Structure 1
Amino acid sequence: MASIRDHLQTLTDTVGAVRVLQRSGALDLTKPRELATAVKRSKTLGAPATIVLHGAEEHPDAPALTDERGTLTFGELNDNAKALANELLAIGVTPGSVIGVLARDHRGLLTVLAAAGFAGVRLAMMNTGFGKTQFAEVAEREKVQVMFYDEEFIDLLDGLPDSLTRYLTWVDDDRPVPEGVRTLDEVIADGDTSLPPEPKEVGGLVILTSGTTGLPKGAQRGRFSPFTSALLLDRIPIPQNGAAVIVSPIFHSTGFAVWGVATALGNKTVVMRRFDAEKTLAAIADNRAEVLVAVPTMLHRMVALGPDVIKSYDLSSLKIIVLAGSALSPTLSEAVQDAFGDVLYNMYGSTEVAIASVATPSELRQAPGTVGRAPVSSHLALYDDNDQRITASNVRGRLFVKNGAPFEGYTDGRNKQVIDGYMSTGDMARFDDNGLMFIEGRDDDMIVSGGENVYPLEVENLLAEHPDVADVAVVGVEDDEFGTRLRAFVVRAEGADPQIDDLKLHVKSNLARYKVPRDVVFIEDLPRNATGKLVRRKLPTGPLT
């Protein structure tokens, strides 16, 4: 009986996904031959190469991307990627091998993305926030044979074998090129732009987890199901043939996913190597962009520019802000929509489970900070500590997700816990009376203080509401009397001088006494990674001096 139910759910999901893709313009059932070609290519080239090749065939002269060096058309991006793919095959890299890329968001990164598909190799997308040891360990674990990198990261490559082939994806004008290393520009200038032999099977991608608690794990993805696009497009109306500014890193799931879907719909993507709040406003205005993709810390800095600066740019084209990467506080949720209009979409997911839920602008007004509802083909479930299903509203539980875009397991052989076909996210969540979901924190972030369970995120969100607080993190530290107590790390708002007793009173007035942080420590900045996630292990939890 369970098998019949599963088959019916799969059929329902498929029909729903097809309707979403057709409605959005990503799928045209009136062109069956074109559809069949795209499906066939995606099975051997993978999504990025298929998207770029299709764009070059459909609109070769249309702009595909803009970075600080200018604009590339779909035809130019396609030729660049094919030239690089042929270079890889010419130096002896075989289909199925692994190459790595350590690059910021620019044409070089996107060229490598598509080229890997044309060559049939697996691409490991490295985190630009890596330290030298961490980078070397990941490159060794993933068995990387060729490394593409931006010149600014040259010191990180000291830990790699000298025999490893290297290519430079970006070089600033005033920096010398290391002897024996070719640049991407050199490869493209005299490269073979013919279509390489079609691989027998897709190489796929390795997208790394955030690594906030240790060495990032490699999440493997081979073929990208059409469900992946439907998960995004069901609740976020990405336009066709427009422009999207992506400042969320493309080496991570959110930036990569939106780049793929937006590019497939004929949009130009505008990318920057480094985030700057006001330059982002200028990019939206200059390109008449309808979409912005960012992480919470970026939006916080944009809002902090103030209404006078924001209003000095024509942002009337902006219809969608896609936010993901780390938790959205209710305070920031309201501030963003007050500053830019009701255009915010809060997307929740992970490298492993893809897109699990999305909150629309109206849902965020109704319940600031919510992660909304599941899109088509995504199914959410809460389980208690005994793996029993929780169905009541406003009851916290471990969040599990089942959808049409699962990952293939970690590259080290491990996997996530699965119950009834649902995969663990590692997060705690609850559903309110209206069915809207809220993330309550990581399941391993919970601390027990004096016999009471406490989730730091609840205290963080409350402190973030205080007008004198710009940023905040709450962690558990050892305590002789209570076992564990809360410590809050606070970044002062500009020009503010918050008092410790006032902040404690703010918590005490709204939450139970045992949730009041015993310690409050003022710091200049919180340790966050490139996607805005807090790296809690970098916060001092020892005795205060």
Structure 2
Amino acid sequence: MSIVPAAPTAVVRAVADALSATLVLHRRGALELRRPIELVRTARDATTLGPVVTTLAHATRGASTATALIDDRGPITFEQLDQASNRLANGLAAQGVTPGTVIAAQCRDHRGFVLSLLAAGKLGARIVLLDTAMSGPPLTSVLARERVGILLVDAEFADRFDDLRPGLPIVLTRAGDTNRRGLPTVHGIAAWRSALPLPPPEDPGGIVVLTSGTTGTPKGAPRGKVSPLQSAQFLDRIPLPKASTIVLAAPLFHGTGLSQLILGWALGNTMVVLPDRFDPHRTLDAVARHRASALVLVPAMLQRIVDLGAQELARYDTAALSVIFSAGSVLSPELSRRTALLFGEVLYNLYASTEVAVAAVATPRDLREAPGTVGRPPVGCRVALYDEHRRRITTPHVVGTVFVASGLSFTGYTDGSGAEVVDGMQSSGDLGHFDDDGRLFVHGRLADGHRS
């Protein structure tokens, strides 16, 4: 039988976590405690607009003329992005999009995708983020299960949908030279529309991030109301820059890219996105050209960069990099070692999942002292191990199933199912152990045939 924490204990923990998170955000420059009105406005926005729009609004009030985003079309300020997304929201409303509409987006990283996220939030419409590699039967299943009513997609993916849901409206987020069919575009729909904001929706429409789908059709993990304080889970152990530049190589349809876009804006950063398929040379060129302080990617991308070797890397000035943020899959000890040799001790690795969100962070010191670790839980997170009978494991080096409690954890898949819960914590689906210093090591998925 699960042991449910006593109410006073849960309340005390929640208050303590909130205070700790506030201090972390203040220390990192994401919250200004001397501006209480702004804190209230941001908290209020979060209850109706969702995290992407809330963060943009906060950044716009703080530095409207600062550059928010750079893509292949050039720079755009926070204020310009806010107004452009208002126009798109008004244009989509004229197309029949309402708070009850479900939008599916299949896009590479560019402002059309970002505008789509913002417009959906301002309309209170739910938006489902599709992997750019998804097609065929899995795509058909996701569109049906999520009850998608309109598609916002790059032109290169439009043909995938012809036989899946005939008649489903398609709006192109990036046309390029491939709009042979003359489909409407987000920029065309937004043109000449009012830049005045719509009335805020009653509730956030929410963002649905899909699981990897390694065991079948990807499931949908919805994200709706999120407290701004949850950003502390990333900033507690990762010193992301403030009012600087971050190159975002991880895709926005993935939780890593999306979370760091939001967090980067919360800190007033310029986010550089790369619209085409990942290329290590193009990424390093962006880091050098914009003198980026941080680079966000997944381990496979980092591997390709490191594999270029010291001589090739020397062509690019990466001296301004103080953080390489890696997440999304396993980071090998060898890759972390080689990264430190080439870039210095700037690598931070996040252990997370679509379901439990943030679980643990490994700092450069963790990676040096305990190669292979995924680190320790940041503020507001709890991680525990349980055996196959769901008895808690407290002894170091004993393998068990990893369970996580986080304010960012989801409340269930969009198909009505959910992750296993023990003592108020959700299963990550992984096996792991703690070392003598409390660092977590992950061994693999339960689905791989292992049991604790």
Aligned equivalents of 1:86, 1:189: Cα separation in 2: 10
Structure 1 match to 2:75: 71
1:357-436 residue pairs with structure 2 within 5 A? 357-436=360-439
1:227 and 1:405 in contact (8 A); partners too: no
Tell me the CA shift for residue 292 of structure 1.
0.5
The one-letter code sitting in structure 1 at the alignment partner of 2:255 is: S
Aligned equivalents of 2:146, 2:201: Cα separation in 1: 21
Aligned equivalents of 2:221, 2:374: Cα separation in 1: 23
Q: Give % identity.
A: 44
Tell me the CA shift for residue 431 of structure 1.
0.7
Higher RCO (CA 8 Å, separation ≥ 6 residues): 2
Unaligned runs of 5+ in 1: 448-452, 456-545
Structure 1 match to 2:280: 277
Matched, 1:300 2:308: no
Tell me the CA shift for residue 417 of structure 1.
0.6
| 1:195-233 alpha-carbon deviations (Å, 9 max, x no partner) | 111111111111111111211000011101224201101
Q: Cα RMSD over matched residues? A: 1.4
TM norm structure 2: 0.96
Aligned equivalents of 1:191, 1:336: Cα separation in 2: 48
The one-letter code sitting in structure 2 at the alignment partner of 1:320 is: V
Of residues 153-162 and 281-290 in structure 1, the stretch that sits farther from structure 2 once superposed is 153-162
Aligned equivalents of 1:227, 1:100: Cα separation in 2: 28
Aligned equivalents of 1:162, 1:90: Cα separation in 2: 22
2:91 and 2:190 in contact (8 A); partners too: no
| 2:260 aligned residue (258, 261, 283) | 258
1:296 and 1:324 in contact (8 A); partners too: yes
Tell me the CA shift for residue 163 of structure 1.
2.4
Matched, 1:107 2:111: yes
The one-letter code sitting in structure 2 at the alignment partner of 1:254 is: T
Matched, 1:331 2:324: no
Count of aligned pairs: 447
The one-letter code sitting in structure 1 at the alignment partner of 2:405 is: K
| 1:490-524 alpha-carbon deviations (Å, 9 max, x no partner) | xxxxxxxxxxxxxxxxxxxxxxxxxxxxxxxxxxx
Secondary structure class of the residue paired with 1:46: helix
Structure 1 match to 2:243: 241
Matched, 1:26 2:30: yes
Report which of the two structures shows the higher radius of gyration computed on alpha carbons. Answer: 1
| 1:307-352 alpha-carbon deviations (Å, 9 max, x no partner) | 0111121111000011111101111111111111100001001111
Tell me the CA shift for residue 434 of structure 1.
1.4
Tell me the CA shift for residue 177 of structure 1.
3.9
Aligned equivalents of 1:161, 1:4: Cα separation in 2: 51
1:498-517 residue pairs with structure 2 within 5 A? none
The one-letter code sitting in structure 2 at the alignment partner of 1:134 is: P
The one-letter code sitting in structure 2 at the alignment partner of 1:310 is: L
Secondary structure class of the residue paired with 1:444: helix
Structure 2 match to 1:461: none
Tell me the CA shift for residue 9 of structure 1.
1.2
2:152 and 2:172 in contact (8 A); partners too: yes
Matched, 1:43 2:47: yes
Matched, 1:291 2:284: no
Structure 1 match to 2:181: 178
Matched, 1:347 2:354: no
| 1:52-108 alpha-carbon deviations (Å, 9 max, x no partner) | 223233322211111122111112211111111111222222213211110011111
1:171 and 1:177 in contact (8 A); partners too: no
The one-letter code sitting in structure 2 at the alignment partner of 1:198 is: P
Aligned equivalents of 1:227, 1:420: Cα separation in 2: 23
2:233 and 2:379 in contact (8 A); partners too: yes
Aligned equivalents of 2:62, 2:364: Cα separation in 1: 33
1:506-545 residue pairs with structure 2 within 5 A? none
Aligned equivalents of 1:264, 1:159: Cα separation in 2: 41
Matched, 1:195 2:197: yes
Tell me the CA shift for residue 426 of structure 1.
0.2
| 2:60 aligned residue (56, 64, 86) | 56
Structure 1 match to 2:121: 117
Aligned equivalents of 2:163, 2:297: Cα separation in 1: 32
Of residues 418-427 and 69-78 in structure 1, the stretch that sits farther from structure 2 once superposed is 69-78
Structure 2 match to 1:513: none
1:228 and 1:354 in contact (8 A); partners too: no
1:203-222 residue pairs with structure 2 within 5 A? 203-222=205-224
| 1:126 aligned residue (122, 126, 130) | 130
| 2:141 aligned residue (109, 112, 137) | 137
1:132 and 1:155 in contact (8 A); partners too: no
| 1:444-469 alpha-carbon deviations (Å, 9 max, x no partner) | 2135xxxxx8x9xxxxxxxxxxxxxx
Aligned equivalents of 2:113, 2:265: Cα separation in 1: 15
Tell me the CA shift for residue 378 of structure 1.
0.3
TM norm structure 1: 0.80
